[in-house]
Amino acid sequence: MTERSPAPGGSQEGKSPQRRGADDRGGNAGGWGETLRTVVYALVIAVVVRTLFYEPFNIPSGSMMPTLMDGDYLFVSKLSYGYSRYSFPFSAGPFEGRIISDRPERGDVAVFRKPTDTSIDFIKRIIGLPGDRIQVVRGVLHINGEAVKRRRIEDYQLRSGRTVPQYIETLPNGVQHHILEGSGDSGPLDNTAVFTVPAGHYFAMGDNRDNSRDSRVLNVVGYVPFENLIGRADLMFWSVEPQVVLWQPWTWPTGIRYSRLFDVVE
């Protein structure tokens, strides 16, 4: 029997390997391209969310105890106060002042750029609004000449085991929050001059009143310009004791503060 010659262009069987090779090369290129696009999209979305909506922030000190503790991680709402150049990564906002802005309320826990060094983020409670007169007299906060009400509650136990007096303070607009006042009326910041908050500025204080460098110390922090506000602390999403080490899993079970996870910041 005479063997038939393949039709011009080769048999279908003969073409298949060539098509598979071409498809493989296109598939690899498409796969890498798709992965790259996914990574780029994810980065863009992360930057947009961080810039316009929520930014994570961790607490590095005890100046806001008992409300916030060293090792707490928060989401800070950028929507709360609008946007300034400090809302953007590397303070790269292309404008001065604020846009789509809303004013903070007395009692907000706010993250802001330190007025005397804008490379540093601070977190404190907004106590004084523009035009307010703020003074501390024998450890008691005064706003516009009136003593702010506070009520003594159970003492707060520090990590060291020492206890300090704890109060619930009620601001003039009704906002209540806990404060620590360990030195009574004898600490260096327990008796101050009267601070008159300038227009366009705010007066911020830590809840740990004897261990907070805040607007009471003018040459360190001072009055906070509206432009320096980054956002309001809203939600705690993670909290760990200092002994927790990421690469030491045996420290996790006893080091995570489970009771603080997903707490609303007040």
Tell whether the torsion through CA atoms of 147, 149, 155 and 161 is positive or negative. Answer: negative
Distance CA 177, CA 67 (A): 8
Listing DSSP states for 145-208 in one string gives TEEPEEEEEEEEEPTTS-EEEEEEEE-TTS-EEEEE-TTTT-STTSS-PPEEPPTTEEEEE-SB
Sheet holding 195-196, edge to edge: 146-147, 140-143, 133-137, 195-196
Distances (CA, A) of 164 to 141, 167, 177: 18, 10, 16
Active site residue 63: yes
Tell whether the torsion through CA atoms of 27, 33, 35 and 41 is positive or negative. Answer: negative
Q: Which residues pair with 176 in a beta bridge?
A: 170
Catalytic-labelled residue, pool 63, 80, 87, 239:
63
- Find, among 234, 233, 238, the residue nearest to 258 by Cα: 238
CB 15 within 8 A of CB 9: yes
Catalytic-labelled residue, pool 78, 84, 124, 212:
124
Active site residue 114: no
Length of the chain: 266
Distance CA 198, CA 203 (A): 9
Residues identified as active-site: 63, 124
